[in-house]
Structure 1
Amino acid sequence: MRDTPYSTARLSVSGMTCGKCSARVEAALLAAPGVQSATVTRQPGEAVTVYDPSQTTPKDLAAAVSDAGYPATSEVAPFQAEEPGDEAAPLFDEPREEAPGSITLSIENMHCASCVGTVEKALSAVPGVTSASVNLATRRATVQGVAQVELLEKASKAAGYPATAHLHHHDATPADTGDETRAMARRTLIAALLTAPVFLIEMGGHLYPPLHHWVTANLGVTPWRIVQFLLTTAVIAFPGRLFFTSGIPALLRRAPEMNALVALGAGAAWAYSTLATFAPGLLPDGANHVYFEAAAVIVTLILLGRTLEARARGQAGAALRGLMALTPETAAVETPQGLQNKPVSEIAPGDILHLAPGGRVAVDGIVTEGEGWLDEAMVTGESAPVAKAPGDTLTGGTLNGTTALSYRATAVGADTVLSRIAAQVERAQATKLPVQRTIDKVTSIFVPVVLVIAVLTAGVWLAATGDISRALVAAVSVLIIACPCAMGLATPVSILVATGRAAQLGVIFRQGAALEQLGAVETLAFDKTGTLTEGHPALTSVVPEGITRAEALRLAASAEARSEHPLAKALVQAAEAEGLALSPATKATAKPGHGLTATVEGKALILGGKRSMDAEGLSVPPALALALDEAETRAETAFFLAVDGTVVALFTVADPVKPDAAPALKALKTRGVSLALLSGDALRVAQAVAGDLGIDAPEGGLLPADKLARIEALKAAGPVGFVGDGINDAPALAAADVGLAIGTGTEVAVEAADVVLLSGRLAGLTAAHEISRRAMANIRQNLAWAFGYNVLLIPVAAGVLVPFGGPQLSPMLGAGAMALSSLAVVANALRLRRAAA
């Protein structure tokens, strides 16, 4: 046990459901006075905190966590501390737990925003459910809480929407609407064939009176009406049956939705026309008209709209399904009987697989034999091929270059990177944005209000004209044109397309709300090491004096070849990259604070800084002294090489800025985003990097709690995003309005973030920001169209303009306009597929 003044508190914390929750708890603890470290575990809900008992108590720590929104109780625990590691973990390398109590269901028969509200209400009423969120674009529901799957499925079905649960959320890849589209297309075709004679002859007779006279002269009025009755009844009873089987029960449950509106509208037109055909004496004089063509055309047009909508939704989810389809169906696996092709579903972790030139990686794995280059653009968005050698990781779905490789499977099925990407994206797509919740509240009362308007419209027309048929036409027009399909699709379909496009570019929105917030951030703060820089030192320059550059580098690298120091590795890697042959070193001795001495090829070498040279009584040539001053100005690490008592070279080493950092940050500044740098490195180093990248507000020497405090201060002026990659960045990532993690960083940072940049390149940041801005603009356009369409056309359909000589929309035109409104919203959202191209 260590001799230390610190104590440890073990807190029991409830309410944590995700990585960001645990990061918030950690942030709350680190912000408390006297806290040295905090380790939070979501399952079983525990936080172990090392603290100074003279500054705080376990009770105070529990209160701090409770104030952050996570009820906590405390107990003092024996001190058991381990040195924290900051090892980088590959994104999704190990299976992660789903949020406890999260169940995903596929929902059938949903077609509008009121359908969404009905399903959410039904699911929320199930015992144990804490929340239910339904996505119209993906036709899926996400339920939080502890509830029986059978009860959820039963409740949804009872509401008129059959449901199927996905027991493992990450198995639920984006739905393929191909079957739905084909089925709806068949219905539409049948309806169109049955409707065509009714529509062409009836409407043609109005446009060309001789046709009407010919039909009545040859068939007679009543026989022609009977033909229309038979054809229209077939349309309603077969392809249009779905509107009635869903809509009428919804009316009986007092939960009317889009199908109910169509059923009422088309049904009323059919019923009135049937009465006029077979019992005309029951109608007042002058009211003996039929509207079979309206009923048939309404059903046909709405079926057409749904067919086009299903096809468009299929295109919206195609990006993510395309990613999931990248993995091959079979792979060559080593077996005792030799090399055999096996289905990917039969591959197990530990199997050795062979990858042919130009082939795709079947599952995640580690290279065991061979070297080559792989195209990982489909996963990371990084266009440049990546070199692979034994020990390097491979991601399922990536494309091999021209050399054969062997690799050992490490993750299969739902545990692969691609599957987890799909799970993350779909979770974001299931999240409702704040604007969507407002829309849901509006549409929950929209359909009942429309029914009232339709009844009032019929009453006013009947009172004003005494014409039942005109009153019926007006009421039916209101019912048909008022369908809230476009409102229900306005937000989720844009989220679906935008997050799918982002995934193609190597950007994963883990929280749907981040899509709304990222484009609105006014300040983006950055960590430095591993975020703006590569995260490891590299040789930046060699300044020789009386020796060639190559010879100086060769000798220095030979002396440092066996050292594990990061600066030594930078020298050796640079020499190897230039193809320099190293010589063995003898008598190599490292002197802490004074560099290294060694003998190479009989020459006595000294490597060290200015202090080392002074200690040896060696003078530094003026040119090298000037180079040293310039290196210190750039905040680079500099050291000299002395050969046989003469200083002959200066080496400078720095953590290089990522090559795409400068253009990415310039693009963000052009869009009006303020930039800040929050680094744990010395202030002069932070200032040097900030100067190179055009960041106006660099800060250095910050601890995790300091970064957290800076983020909170920046948030007072407006929305703030933070970009980081390390364990020490997790509190700031959690506290920011939008946390963006570098995917090549630590798992803790990834868990705390809302957005993950898979490739680690900042080009992904500008792409994410652009997609967020365009997605929100797209949603606003969709909402303007959807709401404007209903606000403007419902009064027109009701006939408000008729007394002033204006037009009145017929039910057929209303059905066409309704179908086109939904299609316009989906088509507008599909433009996001070209975002950040």
Structure 2
Amino acid sequence: MTRQTEIVIPIEGMHCASCQSHVGDALLRLPGVGTAAVSLAARQAAVAYDPAITSPAALVEAIREAGYTADLPSAARTEFERQESRERSEAAEYRSLRTKASVTLAAAAVAMWLSMPLMNGSANGAGHAGSHPADPFLNWAMRTVDPLVSALFPWLYRLDANLLRGALLATTLVLMVWPGRHFYVRAWAALRRRRADMNTLIATGTGAAFLFSAAATLVPSWFEARGVRPDVYYEAVAVILALVLTGSALESRARKQTTAALRKLVSLQPRTAKVIDNLIEHEIPLERVRRGSILVVRPGERIPVDGILTAGSSAVDESMLTGEPMPVEKHAGDGVFGGTLNRTGSFRFRATALGSDGVLARIVRLMQQAQGSKASIERLADRVSAVFVPVVLAVSAVTWIVWRLAAPEEPVARAFAAAIAVLVIACPCAMGLAVPTAVMVAAGAGAAGGILIKGGDTIERLARLNIVLFDKTGTLTEGRPRVTDAIGSEEQIARVASLEALSEHPLAEAIVEYAKDRGLASSEVSGFQTSPGLGASGTVAGTEVIVGRESYLRDAGIACETLDADAARLEEEGKTLMFAGADGKVAALFAVADPVKPVSASAVRALSGMGVDVWMLTGDREAAARNVARTLGITKVVAGVLPEGKVAEVKRAQAGGRVVAMVGDGVNDAPALAQADVGIAMASGSEIAIEAADVTLLRGDPRDVAAAIALARAAMRIMKQNLFWAFLYNVAGIPIAAGALYPAFGVSLSPVLASLAMALSSVSVVSNSLRLRRFRLELDGGRQ
């Protein structure tokens, strides 16, 4: 089976959920396309395809044939450059919408002003007692302010009615041709492709009102001959366009804020780097840096690329990666990451990862994937959106017919207003934005706290978790052995540490570090010998020293019975024991263990408080595992398991109907991470584990598991609120606009108020999603 390739294609020209559905359908019709997740909020399509059957160029062509603008992402451009291009495009769109909205609002006010004399019939040649605007709200508003306008501008009421109608026709036509032009162009393009979208609704509603008004202006006698008053509705067209454009501008501005976290990350990437070449420092563009180049960074500068520190030392602010506010000390041999801020000293480092291989670029890429992915909760909205606009068009037509048949005594304007109100109140945008905006903001909020979530489906599964399985080593513990207990004099400990300094064994390193932490001086060693798996021996400052397992010392003729009681106690705690002898006598006992992270206990408490069960899986010995579990308050422990055993435990929990998360950091955890409903990897762990995971914790802090679940639950609440509002708005709003309340209460919805409600519905959904930016989770130990 051919491996599918994934590509993310930026798309311009999508404006509602129907557009999103059209693009998805066009892509899925192509042979070789497996999945196509189209995001209205992110303006992109994430496509999985078989390269043996189709190509990226064919995908782009399918999008273009559907009527939208798309280009292949340039391989020469980095994630940062692509994101900056997207930011510039969104900023230009917002400026354009803001200008159009301002102009249209001003013109709409002028249209209402010019309509006053026609409304009350005082204009010369009006021909009847006064027109009745199709919009009852405008009718009320204009009659309310009419006395003030007539007092301030009495000359306006002496103008010829035909002149006023001509001026209104020209003003409205200008608004439709310039600020509102895109509604009609897009509606026409959709019609040519036998589709309908939000633009179709707006263009049909305002277009019908304009054509009726233009005909009444140019040939009023035709209407009068048929007993229909030649009223004009220009002011309603102008106000509807003004409100829809204002809503679009507000939505564009709010949508920009959903990617604030991503924008902040991109802004951290320096544009230049200082490279040392032949002992001379040069400042060059970042794209000219090569792997292996030696770079220099001074205090207050951002590190340009990932690398290994070769000279100097400093404290580096890595909060943009981990959310941790305290600077991290860096010395020769330590890794540094592009985009992080050098706080104190100057240093040199060797570049190891460039462009898209760097940690910052990978985070940006993960966030883009997350923001473009879909949660399964979107499927209902997608199904409704696919048929939404045709249904609304049909309802509008039926509304006109029912009004004319059921209430022939009502003015034509009443039926006309109801039909237009149905068209302009319907809002597929709110449904299309309900879930993806929440996913985008949640992904940004998580990244700001060092939690990378791969997508909307992951958020949905995270929110449903009811059991978390932790690996022990490196996840709940620090991941490296340390001496926890040492029995013996400082002199003897120093001798043993001097000998172990020549060994590369992890337990030997733990003893050396223990001695260094206590400032114990080292001595000269001669005759060093090692016995793999047993221990080492040699002469330290004239004293014969041996260190290793108890059996190793016994074989050397050294009795260890004097330490039996201490050894039994420490062994019961699950610790590894190292005995040491000097000049033929037992001299010291070291207990080595992998210490529990100070924050692990609060992580377990937080998860338990959220109703999530906690288990621990480990390949370690039963005694060591039980000791860690007791310390943390974990009741279910499975010890001595190999990777396939961890997978089996995950499957066992899933078979019991549990939604399972696996948390680990090693290569041996990767199969279980892939099997779990949600795989969570510590960023300090292996690349394979991170690749297999759905969530990456950049801080390596187990408390972030609880934070990720809490964030996902908050995001799901927002998604459900958004969808509830979007569906309720349309389900309730369309019948009211059609006149469902008129027979019983005499209430009919104004098309202008309907257009205002439509504009605000999208803004309200995006604004509700933006509340996730304030998400904070406080746990024991101060994690927020």
Relative to the length of structure 2, the TM-score reads: 0.89
Letter in 2 for 1:320: L
SS in 2 for 1:739: strand
Deviations 1:442-473 (A, max 9, x none): 11011111111111111111112333221111
Alpha-carbon spacing, 1:148–1:594, altered in 2? closer, same or farther (3 Å): closer
Question: Which of these residues, 206, 210, 226, is aligned with residue 147 of structure 2?
Answer: 210
Note the C-alpha offset of 1:644.
4.3
Question: Which of these residues, 446, 458, 464, is aligned with residue 514 of structure 1?
Answer: 458
Question: Which of these residues, 25, 43, 55, is aligned with residue 121 of structure 1?
Answer: 25
Match of 1:581 in 2: 521
Map residues 647-666 of structure 1 onto 2, 5 A cutoff.
647-666=586-605
Note the C-alpha offset of 1:626.
4.1
**Kept after mapping to 2: 8 A contact 1:170/1:420:** no
Match of 2:559 in 1: 618
Within 2, Cα distance between the matches of 1:280 and 1:329? 66
Letter in 1 for 2:61: K
The percent of aligned pairs where both chains have the same amino acid is: 42
Paired positions, count: 735
Map residues 456-605 of structure 1 onto 2, 5 A cutoff.
456-466=398-408, 467-544=411-488, 547=489, 550-591=490-531, 595-605=535-545
Note the C-alpha offset of 1:617.
4.8
Letter in 2 for 1:316: T
Note the C-alpha offset of 1:123.
2.6
Match of 2:311 in 1: 369
Within 2, Cα distance between the matches of 1:728 and 1:148? 36
Deviations 1:672-711 (A, max 9, x none): 1111111111222221111111212100111122111111
Within 1, Cα distance between the matches of 2:78 and 2:607? 33
Question: Which of these residues, 155, 178, 183, is aligned with residue 91 of structure 2?
Answer: 178
Please state if 1:257 is matched with 2:257: no
Letter in 2 for 1:671: M
Match of 2:342 in 1: 400
Question: Which of these residues, 642, 647, 652, is aligned with residue 703 of structure 1?
Answer: 642
Structure 2 unpaired stretches of 5+: 117-137, 777-783
Within 2, Cα distance between the matches of 1:776 and 1:754? 17
Question: Which of these residues, 610, 624, 628, is aligned with residue 689 of structure 1?
Answer: 628
Structure 1 unpaired stretches of 5+: 1-13, 18-99
Alpha-carbon spacing, 1:365–1:228, altered in 2? closer, same or farther (3 Å): same
Note the C-alpha offset of 1:211.
4.7
Match of 1:32 in 2: none
Within 1, Cα distance between the matches of 2:673 and 2:481? 25
Q: Which moved more, 1:206-215 or 1:771-780?
A: 206-215
Q: Which moved more, 1:586-595 or 1:412-421?
A: 586-595
Within 2, Cα distance between the matches of 1:394 and 1:289? 73
Alpha-carbon spacing, 1:540–1:319, altered in 2? closer, same or farther (3 Å): same
Note the C-alpha offset of 1:237.
1.0
Match of 1:423 in 2: 365
**Kept after mapping to 2: 8 A contact 1:194/1:234:** no
Match of 1:835 in 2: 775
Please state if 1:725 is matched with 2:669: no
Note the C-alpha offset of 1:491.
0.6
Match of 2:135 in 1: none
Match of 1:676 in 2: 615
**Kept after mapping to 1: 8 A contact 2:660/2:678:** yes
Match of 1:759 in 2: 699
Match of 2:261 in 1: 319
Q: Which moved more, 1:159-168 or 1:733-742?
A: 159-168
Note the C-alpha offset of 1:625.
4.3
Within 2, Cα distance between the matches of 1:606 and 1:335? 50
**Kept after mapping to 1: 8 A contact 2:574/2:621:** no
Match of 1:384 in 2: 326
Deviations 1:128-155 (A, max 9, x none): 4343221001111122324344443333
Note the C-alpha offset of 1:260.
0.7
Please state if 1:273 is matched with 2:216: no
Question: Which of these residues, 640, 651, 660, is aligned with residue 712 of structure 1?
Answer: 651
Alpha-carbon spacing, 1:713–1:488, altered in 2? closer, same or farther (3 Å): same
**Kept after mapping to 2: 8 A contact 1:770/1:835:** no
SS in 1 for 2:377: helix
Match of 2:131 in 1: none
Note the C-alpha offset of 1:119.
1.4
**Kept after mapping to 2: 8 A contact 1:511/1:755:** no
Note the C-alpha offset of 1:212.
6.6
Deviations 1:53-99 (A, max 9, x none): xxxxxxxxxxxxxxxxxxxxxxxxxxxxxxxxxxxxxxxxxxxxxxx
Deviations 1:783-822 (A, max 9, x none): 1111111111111111100111152221111111111111
Alpha-carbon spacing, 1:584–1:512, altered in 2? closer, same or farther (3 Å): farther
Deviations 1:642-684 (A, max 9, x none): 4445545432210112222221221111101111111111222
Q: Which moved more, 1:625-634 or 1:714-723?
A: 625-634
Match of 1:198 in 2: 111
Deviations 1:530-557 (A, max 9, x none): 222222101112244xx3xx44432321
Q: Which moved more, 1:268-277 or 1:772-781?
A: 268-277
Letter in 2 for 1:314: K
CA RMSD of aligned residues (A): 2.2
Letter in 2 for 1:574: Y
Match of 2:392 in 1: 450
Alpha-carbon spacing, 1:468–1:156, altered in 2? closer, same or farther (3 Å): farther
**Kept after mapping to 1: 8 A contact 2:294/2:349:** yes
Note the C-alpha offset of 1:614.
5.3
Q: Which moved more, 1:209-218 or 1:315-324?
A: 209-218
Map residues 289-300 of structure 1 onto 2, 5 A cutoff.
289-300=231-242
**Kept after mapping to 1: 8 A contact 2:558/2:586:** no
Map residues 36-55 of structure 1 onto 2, 5 A cutoff.
none
Letter in 2 for 1:210: P
Map residues 54-133 of structure 1 onto 2, 5 A cutoff.
100=5, 102-133=6-37
Alpha-carbon spacing, 1:273–1:713, altered in 2? closer, same or farther (3 Å): same
Letter in 2 for 1:196: A
Within 1, Cα distance between the matches of 2:685 and 2:459? 22
Alpha-carbon spacing, 1:743–1:447, altered in 2? closer, same or farther (3 Å): same
Within 2, Cα distance between the matches of 1:591 and 1:341? 53
SS in 2 for 1:290: coil
Q: Which moved more, 1:386-395 or 1:582-591?
A: 582-591
Match of 2:72 in 1: 165
Match of 1:58 in 2: none
Question: Which of these residues, 141, 150, 157, is aligned with residue 45 of structure 2?
Answer: 141
Q: Which moved more, 1:217-226 or 1:263-272?
A: 217-226
Deviations 1:585-624 (A, max 9, x none): 2344445665444332333434345545655353554xx5
Alpha-carbon spacing, 1:595–1:338, altered in 2? closer, same or farther (3 Å): closer
**Kept after mapping to 2: 8 A contact 1:215/1:224:** no
Alpha-carbon spacing, 1:522–1:186, altered in 2? closer, same or farther (3 Å): same
**Kept after mapping to 1: 8 A contact 2:475/2:682:** yes
Alpha-carbon spacing, 1:707–1:112, altered in 2? closer, same or farther (3 Å): same
Within 1, Cα distance between the matches of 2:155 and 2:439? 52
**Kept after mapping to 2: 8 A contact 1:113/1:488:** yes
Map residues 752-791 of structure 1 onto 2, 5 A cutoff.
752-791=692-731
Note the C-alpha offset of 1:197.
1.4
Match of 2:122 in 1: none
Match of 2:289 in 1: 347
Note the C-alpha offset of 1:828.
0.8
Please state if 1:811 is matched with 2:721: no
Relative to the length of structure 1, the TM-score reads: 0.84
Match of 2:126 in 1: none
